[in-house]
Chain A
Amino acid sequence: MRDVAIVSFAQTVHSRRRQDVNEVELIQPVIQEAKERVGLDRHDIGFTCSGSSDYLAGQAFSFVMTLDAVGPWPPISESHVEMDGAWALYEAWVKIQTGAADTALVYGYGKSSPGDLPRVLSRQLDPYYFGPLWLDSVSVAALQARAMIDSGKLTQRQMAETAARSRAAAKANPFAQVKGDFDVEAILAEDCLADPLRRHDCPPVSDGGAAVVLAADDTARRLVERPAWIRGIDHRVDSHNLGARDLTRAPSAALAAHEAGVSGGKVDVAELHAPFTHQEAILRAEIPLDGAEVNPSGGALAANPMMAAGLIRLGEVARRIIDGSADRGVAHATAGHCLQQNLVAVLEGDG
């Protein structure tokens, strides 16, 4: 295996609505910043991979248009996933492992504001048994939250505490969208948005994106003093059939964490991609984190740009390792409803 590291990370200041820019204009400055931080220009990038969704962009093959933000001329080696950028990062990691590239640019972006996001996300469900019901993403999450509460694994108070803790942590994150001091009692006094979920249990709708530069071996060591080495990375999926799953569990997250080697050492910091408060509790039960600092960025509850929020978890952990404030961290990304698909990576610094 080659040693592959995250050497650079940049993201937008996430916001509810960026009507003043299109997707190219949204992500281009972030891509530029990620490359400039390590002194690379586009000719130095061996492979480019992006994550985005046509269902958000409102256009088939929308990622092709967004390649204008990269400058793909002369022709480049490029790929795309209709998934969060975390899975684009996985593809780029594989590409580097094959020896076909020494560096990679990975980005993910989404503008959710033009549509009704919970309705758009209903199209992720199977088209026969779920699709015709237009079961929206918030309702689906609420079915999972109630399963957690009914099972005795979680209370609404604990969910409110997760919301308050995340938004308080986000005060230190200049890129976060929803941040501040929220009172748990006041949250619990609010009406439910989708019983048992209150607004605070749900992620914001965000427009935004992020970019990461990967590099292998001596290239990584040359670009940055302390590369965030990817020591393990794995992704797994559970059944799309929600009614056949135990919704209080995410076995694919546990399996990905095992395969990525999470339990092989102390975890200083973890970024979990848990869009809804109850999902953090599920992930904490599946991924052995033993006292790690969890979601110091505020996580997806503070900013949830679709197709980028998972990649941002990898970027946030890498940033902490690159700046020397953590030695070993765990990053998690999810996709689909109810934590159906999960990616886990272990990042480490030298010495």
Chain B
Amino acid sequence: MTEPEILSAPLVLEFPFSRTTGPVIGAFLTGLREKTVVGMRGADGRVICPAVEYDPETGAPLTELVELSDTGTVTSWTWVSQPRQGQPFARPFAFALVQIDGADTAMAHAVDVADATEMSTGMRVRARWAVEREGLITDIECFEPELAR
């Protein structure tokens, strides 16, 4: 007996949402539009970047925004050899956690280097700003090695 043919059809599924970013996430994203990175001072004094509305440890509401630089240090990374749809580059790149100078936590983003041998934990990076900025995390196009400029 032959296996019955299994019929299939494509289904493109999206869950489109519009979100209101509020006074903290909105401030961070508005800052990116102006090429500025801001963090939030936590209840214990440490600076959390990207800025968050509530303290990760205590849950207390936070309000003290701190302006930071656009340079930082890679605290972890991986290499994306086959990028997926929607990711920052269609060519191979690194995803990394970047601790912005003056911050005590890291943010996720892409690092644009030619291959994985150029990546290391502890490497210094600088934000490469998108030409057209609209208040999104992708207003930072990626990070690149600090010495590249």
User: CB within 8 Å of B: which residues of A?
Assistant: 19-20, 55, 58, 114, 116, 118-119, 123, 127-130, 132-136, 139, 142-144, 146-147, 150, 192, 194-197, 239, 241-244, 247
Contacts and interface: CB of A to CB of B under 8 A. Distances in A.
B137 interface: yes
Contacts of A58: 11, 13
A128 B137 contact: yes
Give 3 nearest A-B pairs by CB, closest first.
Answer: A142-B78, A243-B106, A134-B86
Interface in B58-93: 75-80, 84-88
Given A192-B79, A243-B107, A132 B84 contact: no
B8 A150 contact: no
A139 B95 contact: yes
Interface in B1-39: 4, 6, 8, 11, 13, 15, 17, 19, 21, 25, 29
A349 to B, nearest CB: 39
Contact of A243 (B6, B29, B108): B108
How extensive is the interface on chain B, given as a class? 35 or more
Given A129-B25, A244-B105, 15 more contacts: A19-B6, A128-B19, A128-B29, A129-B108, A139-B78, A143-B76, A143-B78, A143-B96, A146-B76, A146-B78, A146-B121, A150-B121, A192-B79, A239-B56, A243-B106
A36 to B, nearest CB: 28
A298 to B, nearest CB: 25
B113 interface: no
B97 A243 contact: yes
Nearest to B17: A127
Nearest to B57: A239
A118 B82 CA distance: 12
A119 to B, nearest CB: 5
Contacts of A197: 78
B11 A146 contact: no
Nearest to A116: B84
Contact of B97 (A123, A132, A194, A242): A242
A118 B56 contact: no
B48 interface: yes
B124 interface: no
Interface in B38-56: 48, 50, 52, 56
B121 A133 contact: no
A350 to B, nearest CB: 41
A135 B97 CA distance: 11
Contacts of A241: 48, 52, 56, 105
B114 interface: no
Given A128-B137, A243-B108, A143 B48 contact: no
B17 to A, nearest CB: 7
Given A128-B29, A239-B56, A247-B76, A133 B116 contact: no
A128 B21 contact: yes
Nearest to B48: A244
B108 A135 contact: yes
Contacts of B109: 133
Given A139-B95, A239-B56, A243-B97, A134 B78 contact: no
Nearest to A130: B108
A285 B134 CA distance: 44
20 contacts: A119-B86, A127-B17, A128-B21, A128-B50, A133-B109, A134-B87, A135-B108, A136-B84, A143-B76, A144-B76, A150-B121, A194-B78, A194-B80, A239-B56, A241-B48, A242-B108, A243-B97, A243-B108, A244-B52, A247-B76
Nearest to A145: B78
Contacts of A127: 17, 19
Given A147-B76, A243-B97, A128 B25 contact: yes
B137 A20 contact: no
Nearest to B50: A129
A135 B142 CA distance: 13
Contacts of A19: 6, 8
A348 to B, nearest CB: 34
A243 B105 contact: yes
Given A19-B8, A119-B84, A139-B80, A133 B19 contact: no
